[in-house]
Amino acid sequence: MDYAVHILTMIAITGIAAVSLNLLIGETGLVSVAQAAFAGIGAYGMTLLMLHAGIPFLAAALFSALIAGAIALIIGAIFLSLREVYYVFGTVGLNMIVWAILLNWDSLTRGPLGIPGITRPEVLGISFADNTAFLILCAVVLLAVFAAHYAIMKSNFGRVLHAVREDEEAIAVLGYKTEVYKIVIFVISAALVAFSGSLYATYLSYINPSAFTVNDSIFILAIVILGGLGSAYGAIVGTCMLVGAFEALRFIGFPASIAGDMRQVFYGLILILFMLYLPRGLFGKFRI
Amino acid sequence: MDAVPQIVLNIVIAGGIYSLAALGFNVLYSTTRFFDLGYGAYALVGGYAVLCLYKWVGINLELSLLLGVLIAGLTGFLTEKIVYRALRARRASNTVLLIASLGVFTLGQAALAIFFSSQFQSLSRDIASQRLFSIESGVITATQLLILTAAFAVMGILVVVWRYTKFGRAVRAIADDEEVAQTVGIDSERVIGAVYFIGAAVGGIAGIAVGFDMGLQPLGMTILLEAVIAAVVGGIGNMYGSVLGGFLLALVENIGAWQFGGEWKFAFAFAVLILFLLYRPQGILPK
Amino acid sequence: MNKWIWALIVIIIVGLGWWAIGFSGNSAQSGTGPIKIGSVLPLTGDAASIGTIDRAAVEIAVAEINAAGGVNGRQLEMIYEDGQCASTAASNAANKLMNADNVIAIIGGLCSTETATFAPAAMQKKVVVISPASSAPNLSQTGKYFFRDYPSDAFQGKFAAEYAYNTLGARKVAVIYHISDWGTGIKNVFETRFKELGGEIVSESGEPQTATDYRTDLTKAKAANPDYIYTPMYPQGDTALMKQASELGIKAKILGADGWDDPQLAKDAKNLGLDILYTTGKTGTTDAFKQKLQQKTKSPDVPVGAPQAYDAVYILANAMKSAGTDPDKLADTIRATKYDGVSGHIEFDQNGDLTVADYVVKRMANGTATVVQ
């Protein structure tokens, strides 16, 4: 049971990141491979605020999400001119640079030694030190993010995003400032995934740059592709499958020495096969 | 400033490898105009094929090298036929191709790790059997010199083939417009297949070079990213650009390492990439 | 509509699967039958070249113990999971071992990243953890059930600094290190202590563990004219570094850390004609163990963590013979252990750290390394 609780918690946290990425890729067509970087900014921001400034979890997490959003604002503006594949490369570069900073700015982040001792949150008097309680917290946040996604997409704002997806030039001609929309959704997405980073940090009680690499961003990308573009539900299902099924692989009997590589084989296959035969993913409304 | 000649040589040495890597990547780009990240896998295949043949099966060195390069080329050729051709046939966007190629890279690397284990393996037998050449107060080994020569030789051959042969003209025609090229009677599938073979083979050379100079691990991300950055910065689509980009990247990385320490090397490389993507995405040299 | 139903079905099946695993796991660890122990090591990823060999060391120990009758007649069942030297992977791996397999103890992780991630949860669950190689200083505060038979960086870095300053008379040192919990950790402690003593760090350059090009780091170090170059690095990097140092004609002498304690490196050093000193634990690995390991892995490497992992299994098994599988009794018994293993003499203090973190300095000469001090 404990194991199930753990896996579900990881699914919830990763699910938040996946839903936030869907806002970018699925709804707006911005293929970003930098979610892990913003998760890292959220995680480290929250941790430093909590440990050095004594700020309680919720405030620290919200504040670090704001910081991530601010950084996304600047980056989003800088990356406006990048299109398609170049945008992808730009985000890869962003992730690499953020990761390098987390790794090498010793004095702030302790580099590869990471930051231990992150306590579980106490929100509104309730302590979440118990794993099951924490899972419920994560599930609640996931639900909130899901609701936010739904709200955004049902609104006018969401409709413009879809239009940007389909034909950016057309909608720009109609007078919509597409740059603003793209930056705003980038900021929102970054803030959401940053919050998931804070949850991650407080769950494991220890953070380390190894959790925020380009490979982690690619993993979330694979989830969104699997789940389907344009569907938050798909993102969550995709998360369940990739995280849950991969864990299940442990029990199938692959020797542990290649299990890690077998997972990579599967997930490489997913990327290839889905692009070839199921570009819409499982529940997607759009294809890349 | 006694160290300057050595730094220059360091840059030249690294530049040689990056240039080779970028050249192969650039070749792959030349007809289909998309970034094939599977290149990282082809390069690894080259290195590991030589490991297998030379160290395990015991074939002599020259033949192993040749076979290794050919096997790498074959991998690229097959990938194009099996994965990319279908995608291109339905006019998939470059991003889709990129993601599929990412899948190829992930799959290829993991398969090699399973087969050859994640352990670090060295291609060269002897550690100190190198002839050293002194230039001013700097030093370069025979292997490194060989790699450099190979880089320029490959560049030269590619430039000649691309510019002066019928094949090269076919490549450029397809790059401009595949349908039109087909109407003129060019068998685009065969040409593209050949291009993938060549590009992957050059990648194999790069992978083998790295294997000899430094050692083999099933971790191709580094060499792949170096190839991408060098090719893009130097001018994608231009052979000279790949070499220029390779040396430029080596320059930036080493100066960065010199000033700030080796740990920032990668960050600098990517900062340069982003700068170019923003201000000059076509790279330094035009197509 | 079909798809939604399908997805729901898949999720329900997977969920039931988890439930089932959860229940089946709980039934293990009765009085008879094999004793389940877990291992978290990096079997894939950047540190895999070390992790896979450390795993072999564990395998040898388990096989030997089982062949000799196991623990009180019960065989040891070692379950291996891949920590990948990364937080998320290590957490999932350890969770599976602790909660699905219900292991009594975990031998691991290798990287401090892995250990720091799952050790807190292990302490809560009362699972004994013995790490064969995690050296981050703050792990000393982990908890009652945590032990490591590899010393904290705090000791080695300090020893190296004092040796360099006092014995070698070095006043200017250039540092080239591997960016990892181990390398960065030692580097930090070394630099702090060396500067405290009055020395100067004239250049510092870090590279990732998998880097193979140290030429610019070396050139930078050479230009700063140091008395010594301090290199807390792992074996593969050491090989490349030595090669490149000799190519570059580096005259300054090298002082390494225990990552240099590898027989292949000593041989390579001889071919290159370099003068290399390094710090390592007082009683180095026995030759008999080295041979056993090399035979099993078909590789000449004897990396950090291998002898320690071997000893860790024995310490655990021996403790279980008298204390059984009760975590508190087990922890107390391990803490009271005095064991002479292949990695040296092992005793634990109240934090689970080694009490005897004695270091010696060895010099690589003529193909082998001999103690200098």
Look up the CATH number of the domain holding residue C259: 3.40.50.2300
> In degrees, to the nearest 5, what angle opens at C-alpha B80 toward C-alphas B79 and B81?
90
C87 interfaces chain B, CB cutoff of 8 Å: no
Q: Do B100 and A271 touch (CB under 8 A)?
A: yes
Q: Do B110 and A268 touch (CB under 8 A)?
A: yes
Q: Measured between alpha carbons, how far is residue C163 from residues A255, C39, C176, C221, C361 in Å?
A: 44, 36, 18, 20, 9
B114 interfaces chain A, CB cutoff of 8 Å: yes
Q: In terms of domains, do C234 and C363 share one?
A: yes
Q: Are A226 and A281 in contact (CB under 8 A)?
A: yes
d(CA B51, CA B218): 12
Q: Do C21 and A205 touch (CB under 8 A)?
A: no
Q: Is C159 helix (H, G, I), strand (E, B) or coil?
A: helix
DSSP result, C291-330: HHHHHHHTSS---TTHHHHHHHHHHHHHHHHHHTT-HHHH
Residue with tokens 């000791």: C155
d(CA B79, CA A153): 38
Q: How many residues does chain A have?
A: 288
Closest CA to C125 of C317, C320, C327: C327
In b/e form, how buried is each residue of B235-269, taking b as 16+ CB within 10 angstroms?
Answer: bbbbbbbbbbbbbbbbbbbbebbbeebbbbbbbbb
Q: In terms of domains, do C366 and C239 share one?
A: yes
Mean pLDDT in each 10-residue stretch from start to end of chain A (288 residues)? 90 96 91 95 95 92 96 94 90 94 90 90 85 93 94 91 87 88 94 96 93 92 90 92 84 76 87 90 83
Tokens read off for A261: 């590589």
Q: In terms of domains, do C111 and C45 share one?
A: yes
d(CA A157, CA A160): 5
**Mean pLDDT over each residue of chain B, to the nearest integer:** 87
Q: Do C44 and B254 touch (CB under 8 A)?
A: no
Q: Measured between alpha carbons, how far is residue A190 from residues A184, C11, C146 in Å?
A: 10, 28, 37
Q: In terms of domains, do C127 and C161 share one?
A: no
Q: In terms of domains, do C319 and C234 share one?
A: no
Domain map (residue ranges) of chain A: 2-213
Q: How far is B36 from chain A (nearest CA, A)?
A: 11
Name all chains with 3 or more CB-CB pairs below 8 Å to chain A. B, C
Nearest-by-CA chain B residue for C247: B139
Q: In terms of domains, do C111 and C188 share one?
A: no
A130 interfaces chain B, CB cutoff of 8 Å: no
Q: Do B261 and C206 touch (CB under 8 A)?
A: yes
B133 interfaces chain C, CB cutoff of 8 Å: no
Q: Which residues contact C12 (CB under 8 A, 6 or more apart)?
A: none
C257 is a domain residue: yes
Q: Do B128 and C271 touch (CB under 8 A)?
A: yes
B281 interfaces chain A, CB cutoff of 8 Å: yes
C289 is a domain residue: no
Chain C residues whose beta carbon lies within 8 Å of the beta carbon of residue A258:
43-44
Q: Among residues 60-99 of chain C, which lie with CB inside 8 Å of chain A?
A: 79-82, 84-89, 91-92, 95-96, 98-99
C12 is a domain residue: no
Q: Which residues contact C44 (CB under 8 A, 6 or more apart)?
A: A257, A258, A260, A261, A264, B113, B118, C82, C84
Count each helix (H run) and each strand (E run) in chain C, helices first: 12, 14
d(CA C248, CA B6): 8
Q: Do B258 and C219 touch (CB under 8 A)?
A: yes
Tens-binned pLDDT, residue by residue, of chain C (373 aa): 566 676 677 667 766 666 665 555 444 455 678 999 999 999 888 788 889 899 999 999 999 999 998 898 899 999 999 999 999 999 999 999 999 999 999 998 999 999 999 999 999 999 999 999 998 888 998 999 999 998 888 888 999 999 999 999 999 999 999 998 889 989 999 999 999 999 999 999 999 888 888 888 998 898 888 999 999 998 878 888 888 888 888 877 899 998 888 777 887 777 777 788 998 877 667 788 888 988 888 877 788 889 999 999 999 999 999 998 899 999 999 999 999 888 888 899 999 998 877 788 888 877 777 878 6
C248 is a domain residue: yes
Q: Are A220 and A33 in contact (CB under 8 A)?
A: no
Backbone angles phi, psi at B5, to 5 degrees: -55, -40
Closest CA to C52 of C91, C104, C92, C110: C110
C273 is a domain residue: yes
Q: Which residues contact B174 (CB under 8 A, 6 or more apart)?
A: B31, B181, B186, B188, B191, B192
- The strand ranges marked E within B72-180 are 132-135, 138-141
ipTM of the modeled complex:
0.90
Domain around C80: 33-150+305-342
Q: Do A288 and B274 touch (CB under 8 A)?
A: no
Closest CA to B106 of B223, B221, B211, B199: B221
Q: In terms of domains, do C108 and C169 share one?
A: no
Q: Measured between alpha carbons, how far is residue A105 from residues A93, A102, B18, C112, C338 in Å?
A: 18, 6, 28, 18, 41
Q: In terms of domains, do C112 and C177 share one?
A: no
Which helix (DSSP H) or strand (DSSP E) does residue C78 occupy?
Answer: strand C76-82
Q: Among residues 218-237 of chain A, which lie with CB inside 8 Å of chain C?
A: 233, 237
Nearest-by-CA chain A residue for B275: A90
Q: In terms of domains, do C69 and C90 share one?
A: yes
C99 is a domain residue: yes
Q: In terms of domains, do C233 and C164 share one?
A: yes
